[in-house]
Structure 1
Amino acid sequence: SYMHPETVPAGETFITEGDAVNTGFMVLLLDGEVLVENITVSRTKPVTVTVLGPGSLIGEMGLLDTGPRSASCTASTDIQCAVLTRDALESLIEEQPAMGAKFLLAVSARIAERYRETQKKLVLFARLAATMQQELDRQT
């Protein structure tokens, strides 16, 4: 098998935002909940971005592009997960190209879905900012 099972205890942060070293793995959450937090939004205190449950992919962007982690992930309950390392992904692609391609398509679809959601939020925030500016302009 290309993935290996792992248990992470509640309260443990297993991915840290900005970490550019430990990017060589992703996690498929099998059981439990993970709190995803981002500090770049407020610059000082972590902001909860989302809570993920079973079936969620975590850390796939870092696995694919080796870039720094974009958020911190902490087990809010004990979690059971399956871990895929970059080496294992490369072995999968080499040994079973069709399966590797299907896996990469599935991961790409998840990333595209999140990108679309982010775009919608940006449009909403832009409208909100414009409305707030109009209100401020009226008061001056």
Structure 2
Amino acid sequence: MKGILSLLKSKVQKPGEDANDSVLFTTAFASLGVDESLLAPWEARAVEVGAKRLPRNRGGKLLQSLWAKDKYMAHLDQGAVERMERFFQFASIPPNRDVIRQDEYGNFMVVLLSGTIAVDRIQPWGEQLRLAETRPGDILGEMSLLDSGMRFSACTTLTDCEVAVLSAEAMDEMMAQDPQLAASLVALLARKLSLRLRVVSARLSENQR
């Protein structure tokens, strides 16, 4: 994680440099030997789950409002969130759709803007464990976006949901065009992820007793 942050902070675009030169996130899976055919990108998942495009003005306002109330994401002022909005895709998704599937490779993360999403994990012995039912403002899938690993759990809509989606390609665009903003986002995601992993780890330990 420190390596990513260092690269983000040092990636200041120089005169004449192509903004598309930054491909840290889009090439991460390949560098780990993950076959591109195994990736589940948002464009394909959106079709599978019947996602419909959400007006950017609505999605952006929801994102600003929710992150302003989050003790971590509130470190991004309104101007920063407004600059970040153009890198997100906004969509509405019907109930009972698998936005993220356990053990797949996915190069996008999701911010829940409205509705409820269940987070479940199938244990090695076959038991399905509900880890959480998320609330608006919660972030899902950021671990795979940051470390290019397999999805830890499945995320399924329980109600009609509105979401903001950030892909690896969009993250690279942000890193190239606004490196300080990208560095701030990665740092805040890392903090939130660390806290969530501690909670999940404690939950799994209790379940095994």
Q: TM-score, normalised by structure 2?
A: 0.55
SS at match of 1:55: coil
Structure with the higher helix share, 1 or 2: 2
Equivalent residue letter for 1:27: V
2:123 aligned partner: 40
- Give the root-mean-square deviation of aligned CA atoms: 2.0
Structure with max Cα Rg: 1
2:110 aligned partner: 27
1:96 aligned partner: 178
Q: 2:118, 2:134 within 8 Å by CA — same for their partners in 1? A: yes
Q: 2:131, 2:200 within 8 Å by CA — same for their partners in 1? A: no
CA distance in 2, matches of 1:64, 1:28: 15
**TM-superposition CA deviations, 1:102-138 (whole Å, max 9, x none):** 111110111111233345557x74xx95xxxxxxxxx
1:136 aligned partner: none
1:132 aligned partner: none
How many percent identity over aligned positions?
Answer: 27
CA distance in 2, matches of 1:106, 1:117: 17
CA distance in 1, matches of 2:136, 2:188: 16
SS at match of 2:193: helix
2:61 aligned partner: none
Whether 1:110 and 2:192 are equivalent positions in the alignment is yes
Equivalent residue letter for 1:15: I
Q: 2:88, 2:164 within 8 Å by CA — same for their partners in 1? A: yes
Structure with the higher strand share, 1 or 2: 1
SS at match of 1:62: helix
Of 135, 143, 150, which aligns to 1:68? 150
2:73 aligned partner: none
1:3 aligned partner: 88
1:52 is displaced (CA, Å) by: 0.2
2:98 aligned partner: 13
Q: TM-score, normalised by structure 1?
A: 0.80
SS at match of 2:180: helix
SS at match of 1:77: coil
Q: 2:131, 2:203 within 8 Å by CA — same for their partners in 1? A: no
Q: Could you list the runs of 5+ residues in structure 2 that have no partner in the other structure?
A: 1-85
CA distance in 2, matches of 1:89, 1:110: 18
CA distance in 2, matches of 1:120, 1:111: 14
1:45 is displaced (CA, Å) by: 3.7
SS at match of 2:181: helix
